[in-house]
Amino acid sequence: MADDSLVSDDLLRTLVGVGHVDLLVGIPTLNHAGTISDVVKAVEASFRTYFPRQRTALINSDAGSTDDTMALVQNCCLDQARTVTASSGLRTTHRISTPYHGTLGKTNAVRLIFSSADLLQANGVVVLDPDVANITPEWVAALAAPLRDRHVDFVAPVYRRQVAEGHLVTQLLRPLIRATYGWRVREPLASEFGCSGRFAAHCAEQESWGSHDVQNAVHLWLTGTALAGSFSVAQTELGTHQLVPSAPQQPLADLFRQVVTSAFAMIDEHAGYWLGKTEVKDVPMVGAPVAAEAPDEIVPPDGARILESFDQDVKNLEEILRILLTKDTFAALTSAAADPSRPGLPGALWATTVGEFLVAYHHNVMRRDHIAQALLPLYMARAGTFLHEHANSSPEAAEAALESLCVHFEQVKTRVVDRWTQPAVR
């Protein structure tokens, strides 16, 4: 059932006027005047090209933009859509643009899209990120097409990443979610996805939306909900993932703390699902890869320079690390940080460290945000190690290294499970 606190009376009347749709595409916005027109054009081109016989709608869930975002949604592609302005935003049989009330952020924007999908009885939902510069009609089709037969509930994207990008995903979230949940999902934090109406309705009913952990990383929570629930999950290749240069960037320390705390909280919540899982399965790939132009080459940062502070960071964290880690892991970490002949944080040791941080979080051995903060310098050392070793590697060699890291995390799971139900080790 839709959340009455989010769906205004005007929006409700608009949705009732639209009626049932086969596909709903949602776009959360906040001051996206520079990109929203291109995204709307891509969505409507996809509707015309790939879903000509489907009942389709686009909903723009706006967090209170002070620029021309909502006006551009109203006026874009007027030759393809009839528009009617209402007090809550834009009303149309094709396109709805409405502000939402409550806490700002993508979480409530996505929640409003899901509540609207529930009221529209949408068979499928696609959510897009207007901060992405290369959204095409084919992206919408790739995320939506697997939902048509109603045998797929959640479609996650697969991006083609360069060595220098996405380390929070490749070095931490991908191997951690894979090891715990037992599914090889490559982009657990992706802001673009497709889902069934059934999944959207299930999520809209959850009480978890108000928690800080969901607020801080809603897309991660959606992935975990799909994996741990009775939902079928698939992946589709979208090619490269390029953010617009003007997209606001959250400070790394804040982003890392929020995402890691949310990831640990989600894994803790779903422990009943993953503790007994002993195998790792592939999330099936669906559809043909989306053709994409080669991205501009990203010059990798100097991994060796990032590692220069590793030894001092470990010394600065010594008191905290002695609480969070076992004696053997702490000794190995101290030795690795102090060894000038082999600089860096090896994958196996990194996996063990993350596993023990997760256990410490579960046992609440100290303030949980402090646990996430303490992991950041070690994450930087791991990212620096990967860059130092693979800045000039071929894509195949880099991919093999990422796969090896995932295997290290899988091997640590047994120890995590053993300690999960045992008293915390101080």
pLDDT over 60 at 101, yes or no:
yes
Q: Which runs of E-coded beta strand occur in 54-148?
A: 56-62, 84-86, 89-91, 95-99, 124-127
User: What is the pLDDT confidence band of residue 207, given thresholds at 50, 70 and 90?
Assistant: confident
Question: DSSP code of 299?
Answer: P
Model confidence, pTM: 0.92
Region 121-150 average pLDDT: 94
Spatial distance between the Cα atoms of 180 and 174, rounded to a whole number of angstroms: 10
| pLDDT score of 3 | 54
| pLDDT score of 425 | 56
Q: Please give the helix or strand (H or E) that residue 414 lies within, else none.
A: helix 395-420
State the number of CA atoms in the 13 A half-sphere of 293 facing the CB. 8
Region 102-106 average pLDDT: 65
Q: Which residue has the higher pLDDT, 425 or 84?
A: 425
Spatial distance between the Cα atoms of 191 and 57, rounded to a whole number of angstroms: 20
pLDDT over 60 at 177, yes or no:
yes
| pLDDT score of 198 | 96
Give the mean pLDDT of the chain: 90
- Cα 23 to chain centroid distance, Å, stands at 22
- Cα 36 to chain centroid distance, Å, stands at 21
pLDDT over 80 at 203, yes or no:
yes
Region 249-257 average pLDDT: 92
| pLDDT score of 303 | 92
User: What is the pLDDT confidence band of residue 83, given thresholds at 50, 70 and 90?
Assistant: very low
pLDDT over 60 at 98, yes or no:
yes
| pLDDT score of 406 | 98
State the number of CA atoms in the 13 A half-sphere of 7 facing the CB. 23
Lowest mean pLDDT among 245-254, 306-315, 336-345: 245-254
| pLDDT score of 64 | 87
| pLDDT score of 379 | 98
Region 131-139 average pLDDT: 94
Which regions of the chain carry the CATH code 3.90.550.10?
9-282
User: What is the pLDDT confidence band of residue 209, given thresholds at 50, 70 and 90?
Assistant: confident
| pLDDT score of 346 | 97
- Tens-digit pLDDT profile for residues 14-67: 999 999 999 999 999 999 999 999 999 999 999 999 999 999 999 999 988 899
| pLDDT score of 4 | 58
Percent of the chain with pLDDT over 90: 75
Tell me which architecture the domain covering 9-282 has in CATH.
Alpha-Beta Complex (3.90)
pLDDT over 90 at 293, yes or no:
no
User: What is the pLDDT confidence band of residue 86, given thresholds at 50, 70 and 90?
Assistant: very low
Of 285, 281, 425, nearest in space to 359 by CA: 425
Region 397-409 average pLDDT: 97
User: What is the pLDDT confidence band of residue 74, given thresholds at 50, 70 and 90?
Assistant: confident
- Tens-digit pLDDT profile for residues 329-373: 999 999 999 998 888 999 999 999 999 999 999 999 999 999 999
- Classified as helix, coil or strand, 255 is helix
Torsion of CA 367, 370, 374, 380, to 10 degrees: 140
